[in-house]
Amino acid sequence: MKIGVLGTGMVGETIGSKLIQKGHEVKMGSRSATNEKAAQWVSRSGNKASQGTFKDAASFGEILFNCTKGEISVEVLHSAGEETLKGKILVDLANALDFSKGRPPGLIFGTNDSLGETIQRSFPDLKVVKTLNTMNCTIMVNASAVPGEHDVFVCGNDSEAKKKVSDLLSNDFGWKNIIDLGDITGARASEMLLPIWLRLYGTFGNTDFNFHISR
């Protein structure tokens, strides 16, 4: 499959590298077609890896991963172009964090909205699936990194898109426990897990943990 990864940070590199390992072709997008971090990732990743602008990556991918900072995600998607994004599946794993009052950060969207919903409203022809935003990126791509039972959440308005993303989570990232939170308004719930995730990070001193719903 051809996949576009938007963002050149640790999350984008981790997602892109795992997808390459699983045999997909991946184009990493950034503001510049010659971004140095993207070029370094391509040089390490072999002939299934390439780079370009955000628009290039969005054009290339059948499925797109939003690995940008949530504070700028909508701006990045606008730079990719509404027509380019039309009909695509966007896996949104970003969180919009407010550092204006220091650390730990708050949430930009609070309790009555979410980044996932904002993206979906801004790009109505994009099929947004919110997932993987409740854990560290090393766990995103390797569910077995945390022992025992633990969960990943998905939500989105398009059931077929959620099915395709869930299949990718299962087949490529090793997820067995996938919990569907319903339509894209479910992004409010998963994004609101970030404050407790950040507190747990501070308590444990590492990110080697995840959530599990016992029932």
For the chain, the average pLDDT equals 95
Asked, for residue 163, whether it belongs to a domain, the answer is: yes
* pLDDT of amino acid 164: 98
Residue 100: is its pLDDT beyond 90? no
| Residue from 80, 31, 32 nearest 59 by CA | 80
Find the mean pLDDT for residues 55-59: 98
Range of the domain at 96: 2-204
Asked, for residue 149, whether it belongs to a domain, the answer is: yes
Q: Looking at the chain, which runs of residues are DSSP E strands? A: 2-6, 25-30, 49-53, 63-66, 89-92, 97-98, 106-107, 127-131, 152-156, 178-180
Asked, for residue 213, whether it belongs to a domain, the answer is: no
pLDDT band of 194, cuts 50, 70, 90:
very high
Asked, for residue 214, whether it belongs to a domain, the answer is: no
Instruction: Report the percent of the chain where pLDDT is more than 70.
Output: 95
| Structural domain count of the chain | 1
* 133-170: pLDDT as tens digits: 999 999 999 999 999 999 999 999 999 999 999 999 99
Asked, for residue 209, whether it belongs to a domain, the answer is: no
CATH number of 61's domain:
3.40.50.720
Residue 108: is its pLDDT beyond 70? no
Q: Are 175 and 143 in contact (CB under 8 A)?
A: yes
pLDDT band of 112, cuts 50, 70, 90:
confident
* pLDDT of amino acid 97: 76
Q: Tell me which residue has tokens 């576009």.
A: 4
Find the mean pLDDT for residues 49-77: 97
Q: How far is CA 124 from the centre of its chain?
A: 18
Find the mean pLDDT for residues 123-133: 98
